[in-house]
Amino acid sequence: MSSIDTKAAVLTAHPSTPNDAVRSLRVQLRAEEPGILVFQFSLDADMSRIRVPLSGAGARADALWKHTCFEAFVAPADAPSYHEFNFSPSLDWAIYRFSAYREEMSPAEISRAPKISVRRGDDGLELQSAVRLGHLADLRDARHLRIALAAVIEDENGRLSYWGLRHPPGKPDFHHPNGFALEVAPA
């Protein structure tokens, strides 16, 4: 597979939810042929102070964002609809479709689960996920995609910090249109 488009980004904590155990959170996004997006999240942190879900079966699951979880929001450049991808270090995942900003949420029907791999160490965690766009018609047919990258990091006391490319004013909101700060060509 040849890489078509690669983007790198640094996520920052929402000002109301700092977490000093985290030194940095970086994401690399690659669009690969045929119609595959690869997300690589690299968390540099004191892992003794971060709660990470234990490895599981790698199944579809809801409410992954209640614990440490990595997320991507992907929209066609010219439409209000978007998909939310949740990737847990447990290998569980979720994909939801929205018709517009926080409207008409439904589980996305897919034929193949995202491929997720995780490497853990005392000083960090790396999660990589490959998602096939072929089964998601509004993403598959888009010439350009807008992307928001985010993460929820749970500390040793159960407090959540919210990390994103951009944060809108007010409370944390990964769905906000201003968060879709990257653009890639999927094929």
Q: Which residue has the higher pLDDT, 76 or 142?
A: 76
Claim: this prediction has a pTM higher than 0.85: yes
- Measured over all CA atoms, what is the biggest interatomic distance in the chain, rounded to whole angstroms? 44
Span 107-119, pLDDT tens digits:
998 888 999 999 9
> Domain extents for the chain?
3-184
Average of per-residue pLDDT values in the chain: 92
E strand or H helix that includes residue 109: none
pLDDT tens for each residue of 15-64: 999 999 999 999 999 988 778 899 999 999 999 999 999 888 899 999 99
Average pLDDT over residues 7-12: 94
Instruction: List, in sequence order, every beta strand (DSSP E) within the chain.
Output: 3-10, 12-13, 22-32, 36-45, 50-51, 69-76, 82-87, 93-98, 106-107, 115-121, 124-132, 145-155, 160-164, 182-184
Angle (nearest 5°) at CA 121 between 118 and 124: 80
Find out whether 96 and 105 touch, Cβ atoms under 8 Å: yes
Architecture of domain 3-184: Sandwich (2.60)
